[in-house]
Amino acid sequence: MMRLDNNKYTMLPLGAVKPAGWLKNQLRIQADGLSGHLDEFWPDIKDSSWFGGVAEGWERAPYWLDGLIPLAFTLDDEGLKAKAKKYVEHIVAHQGDDGWLGPRTANVTNIEATENYDIWAIFLANKMLMQYHEATGDESVLEALKNCLKMTDAHIDKHPLFGWGKMRWFEALISIYYVYEKTGEQWLLDLAAKHRKQGFDWAAFFQTEDITVPTPRRGMWRWDKHVVNLAMALKAYPLCARMSGADSDKAFASEMIELLDRYHGQVTGVFTGDECVSGKNPIQGTELCAVAEYMYSLEHLLSVLGDPIFGDRLEKIAFNAWPATFSPDMWGHQYDQQANQVQCTINPDHMWTTNGADSNLYGLEPNFGCCTANMHQGWPKFAANLWMKTDDGGIAAVAYAPSEVSVEIQGVPVKISLETDYPFSDMLTFTVKTESNVRFPLMLRIPEWAKDAELTLDGIGCGSPTPGTFHKVGAEWEGETIVTLRLPMQVKTTRRYNNALSIERGPLVYSLKMGEQWTRVNADQPCREEPHADYEVRPTTPWNYALIVNESNPSESVTFETKKVGACPFSPAGAPITAKVKARKIEWNLKNGWVYETPISPVKSNEPIEEIELIPYGCTNIRVTEFPTL
């Protein structure tokens, strides 16, 4: 008989973690932008076949709900919760007698009949229902989810997984495990095993050299080199390890990340794919959906394996690549972002592998609407998974942002609040409140970069925790206890593509702050009214700089200034931190409508020395991040 091993850390029910400070403001910006209003005007949601309309009936409505539901319940927004309730109840009420959820035809090319319906969309719908049940306890939703899984069990016997479902088979395990943990019914683990057997063998593929090779530009679109499939697949075998117990399954995510970093990695923690993996050149792009799914995969890796290195990577992506792919008001987004992105225009001369001319515009649905549907999960799932329960009855802070968590430990209500401006500040203050005496470990993640971290308990120093670990604090708690953690942030420089230099400090990557001119485009296209219009962005200030940096002691060359974190920190104007560094202009121009490939360092220049300003990558819309050096 198969069994399901416990996670190292257990994700908390939706709603147990509440955002505070800048994170709450960021979720409010999101709710007031596309996420909270997409169903009011975008046909693929407003008129979705999932909701009784005639528009797209495959992945887009489930994608949107998969982000809207955690946004609604994490923010505790009554209007958004009412929207979620309306749409979920419609889907459940119209479930087929055989358990099928949603439309039986997809209304998209090549997926027209039930027997040819790629059930990737069903995986998404099940994840969405799982979250809604977790937040509300609505038993009709759990029953609908269970019935859908029974249908899937029979369906894939007759129509084995293909297409997106075959590549993303492991996504089904998330809802299967959820129902199993509620019911204990063994057929669910058999169903999970069936998905692995029918699914694409990612482990075998990663033993080939093909994954190391960038996809030819304007070349072959590939399922197995597709950037979103890869970002999702990071969690495939660790999820399977809960059944297999195999060390090889547990280790696979780390091996996969190491290889993707080596051949396609970017300084922001993501890897390129525009739309298939495209090497380390910082002018290649990364699709928004891949950034969202990478974050979600890392949250599951933290849960299953409990390795703090995944928390480091999660923060790096969440604070850099994630906010950078949106306009500051979150009414527009890109399809592809670039580390060196000095302009965003409709560009027929582009050098994407397979994406189109408008892929780095800021707008409603540049290139393709999947990212418009899937952009909603990043911030709310990050907020919901900042805290997790440990396998020994404690609570762990797996990633840091201002928040509050409420749990019950040994029958005692416990509330922990984190007051901080992190990642814009190195100080974190935790207030632990318990209604009576209770023993449990509080595990604090100490980032690998945090040398000489400082910890105090009610003002008494507790030494310097070891970087790259979860540090256990206390054992017995009563009343109110204050825990402070300081994570010193040192300047770090890294040599990258063509020997270019990148600058980091703590979890943040720094990029050139540039003047911007936003020009509206596509005004004649449907649904492009303000505030969800499309925009090109061009520079109004120079960007062709080479840095002058003492790499042996970069803190001598790069100085930082901070200001109070405002209402919109992830914006050029609102950036809470600025850095100053010396540089000279060099010969470095545009080609193919983009910044030309980075000149190989060292370069020469007779131009005067200037002091230029850098801001966090996530605060930029256009940028240079990998710089030549003199």
Q: Residue 1 has what pLDDT?
A: 76
Task: In whole angstroms, give the CA distance from residue 270 to residue 266.
Answer: 6
* Domain ranges (residues) in the chain: 33-200, 388-420+427-486, 491-619
Q: Residue 116 pLDDT > 80, yes or no?
A: no
Q: Residue 113 has what pLDDT?
A: 46
Q: Mind listing the pLDDT tens digit for each residue in 203-230? A: 999 999 999 999 987 768 999 999 999 9
Q: Residue 256 pLDDT > 70, yes or no?
A: yes
- The average confidence (pLDDT) of the chain is 96
Residues in the chain: 630
Task: In whole angstroms, give the CA distance from residue 427 to residue 1.
Answer: 49
- Strand ordering across the sheet containing 442-446: 9-11, 387-390, 395-397, 442-446, 469-473
Task: In whole angstroms, give the CA distance from residue 110 to residue 627.
Answer: 44
H runs (alpha helix) in 412-519: none
Neighbours of 613 (CB within 10 A): 15
Q: Mind listing the pLDDT tens digit for each residue in 374-388? A: 999 999 999 999 999
For residue 314, give Cα distances in angstroms to 52, 195, 395, 447, 508: 37, 27, 18, 11, 12
- Dihedral angle at the C-alpha atoms of 101, 103, 104, 107, nearest 10 degrees? -140
H-helix or E-strand spanning residue 505: strand 501-505
What pLDDT band is residue 557 in, cutting at 50, 70 and 90?
Answer: very high
Q: Residue 407 pLDDT > 70, yes or no?
A: yes
Amino acid in the structure at residue 228: V
Task: In whole angstroms, give the CA distance from residue 131 to residue 64.
Answer: 13
Q: In sequence order, which residues have a C-beta less than 8 Å from that of residue 49 and are 6 or more positions away?
A: 55, 56, 57, 61, 102, 103, 105, 107
Q: Mind listing the pLDDT tens digit for each residue in 299-313? A: 999 999 999 999 999
For residue 160, give Cα distances in angstroms to 156, 326, 594: 4, 37, 43
361 near 383, Cβ under 8 Å? no
Pairing of strands 454-457, 460-461: antiparallel
Closest alpha carbon to 370 in 451, 459, 280, 289: 289
- Ramachandran area for residue 99 (φ above 0: left; ψ -120 to 50: alpha; else beta): left
What pLDDT band is residue 290 in, cutting at 50, 70 and 90?
Answer: very high
Q: What is the mean pLDDT of residues 279-294?
A: 98
Percent of the chain whose predicted confidence (pLDDT) is above 70: 98
Q: Residue 509 pLDDT > 70, yes or no?
A: yes
Q: What is the mean pLDDT of residues 467-493?
A: 95
3-class SS string, 324-336: HCECCCCCCECCE
Q: What is the value of pTM for the model shown? A: 0.97
Q: Which CATH class is domain 388-420+427-486?
A: mainly beta
What pLDDT band is residue 29 in, cutting at 50, 70 and 90?
Answer: very high
Task: In whole angstroms, give the CA distance from residue 450 to residue 462.
Answer: 16
Q: Residue 170 has what pLDDT?
A: 98
Closest alpha carbon to 398 in 382, 376, 409: 382
Q: Residue 2 pLDDT > 90, yes or no?
A: no
Q: What is the mean pLDDT of residues 571-593?
A: 97
* Longest CA span, the chain: 76
Amino acid in the structure at residue 607: E
E-state strands within 361-500:
387-390, 395-397, 403-409, 412-420, 427-439, 442-446, 454-457, 460-461, 469-473, 476-486, 491-495
Q: In sequence order, which residues have a C-beta less than 8 Å from that of residue 314 and are 6 or more positions away?
A: 295, 298, 299, 302, 382, 398, 399
Task: In whole angstroms, give the CA distance from residue 174 to residue 162.
Answer: 19
Q: Mind listing the pLDDT tens digit for each residue in 590-617? A: 999 999 999 999 999 999 999 999 999 9
Q: Mind listing the pLDDT tens digit for each residue in 324-352? A: 999 999 999 999 999 999 999 999 999 99
What is the distance in angstroms between the CA of the first residue and the CA of the last residue of the chain?
64
Q: Residue 219 has what pLDDT?
A: 67
Report CA Rg, the chain.
24
Name 512's bridge partners: 614
Task: In whole angstroms, give the CA distance from residue 561 to residue 577.
Answer: 6
Q: Residue 110 pLDDT > 90, yes or no?
A: no
What DSSP state is assigned to residue 281?
A: -
Closest alpha carbon to 382 in 467, 470, 311: 311
Q: What is the mean pLDDT of residues 480-490?
A: 97
Give counts: helices (H), strands (E), the chain. 19, 25
Q: Residue 112 pLDDT > 60, yes or no?
A: no
359 near 311, Cβ under 8 Å? no
Q: Mind listing the pLDDT tens digit for each residue in 155-191? A: 999 999 999 999 999 999 999 999 999 999 999 999 9
Task: In whole angstroms, give the CA distance from residue 468 to residue 465.
Answer: 9
Q: In 3-state terms, what secondary structure has residue 150? A: helix
**Could you write out the DSSP letters of every residue in 309-324?**
HHHHHHHHIIIIIHHH
Q: Residue 474 has what pLDDT?
A: 81
